[in-house]
Structure 1
């Protein structure tokens, strides 16, 4: 497993970078909850790793769908390295912390990533756009569900704590 992860140098680095960017969008809430620096760092690292795992599972799902639908041999390492070109907009996910327009930024960035994946499938595997949408949709939905679970469970709890403290 470690050797496979080391072979995914570019793709894995970008997946972790996107996970850190998503985690950093939560930094303001952590600071407002008056957590110490160690608690903030620990929570951000754990969130980044969980979010990176969600994105990695999405990439694995893309590889499986390629195998099932297009009979492309599964090569998750090559797929992860190629995903680097598709995931780079996620590095700007930290901007989701902006008030009032955060949902628009999040949806735009996630749609941009999904469009990049569809284009990547067309360029590298010759899959038409309509089939690329079908191939990439399960992995994208899986990653979104896992990301939403992290947001709902961990991040909403800290926002609720902050709202209670401000309200009293």
Structure 2
């Protein structure tokens, strides 16, 4: 059974290698993640210009968080496995592993948003492990240790941005609702 799972993961890695889409996917994932809190921006009755500004800034910051994750993977590969890499070529090749992040917009769903977010981030991490195995032949256990610091960094940065953004958006909304109730 473990051998069959290993073969399926290797097969998945070959498919990901064939999808080499580049860093453009990184920005698309950032926008998808940014879109997940569109409801809170609309609920605060921001103007379209303000919403657009928030979305662009959030998308760029989230893309930067994911880029830092890729750079961390690159450094860990160089340090732990001795793989000589060029960060730009590595990022361009590894960005395809982030494709599940295109569904991050679904995190806006009530009640199940945390589950969706963690599932999508874990799926992206699994794709990274599989892709590192496919590209460099590094065993999955070693790839786990190579990818773990970058995954934790991305998780903390994404969590910090969303926590701050969601909290401020909903605090503003709560203040407006309280004012409406007092009238």
Global fold match (TM > 0.5): yes
- Matching residue of 1:136: 147
Query: What displacement does 1:146 show?
Result: 1.1
- Matching residue of 2:70: 59
Q: How does 1:61-76 map to 2 (within 5 A)?
A: 61-76=72-87
Is 1:26 aligned with 2:25?
A: no
- Matching residue of 2:53: 42
Residue range with higher mean Cα deviation, 148-157 or 134-143: 148-157
Contact 2:25 2:96 (8 Å CA) reproduced:
no
Aligned-partner Cα distance in 2 for 1:77–1:10: 13
Gaps of 5+ in 2: 1-19
- Matching residue of 1:82: 93
- Matching residue of 1:93: 104
TM-score by length of 2: 0.84
TM-score by length of 1: 0.91
Aligned-partner Cα distance in 2 for 1:117–1:85: 9
Q: Deviations over 1:46-95 (max 9, x none)?
A: 00000000000110000000000010112212221222321000000000
Q: Deviations over 1:31-52 (max 9, x none)?
A: 0000000000000000000000
Count of residues in correspondence between the two structures: 160
Please give the root-mean-square deviation of Cα atoms over the aligned residues, in Å.
1.3
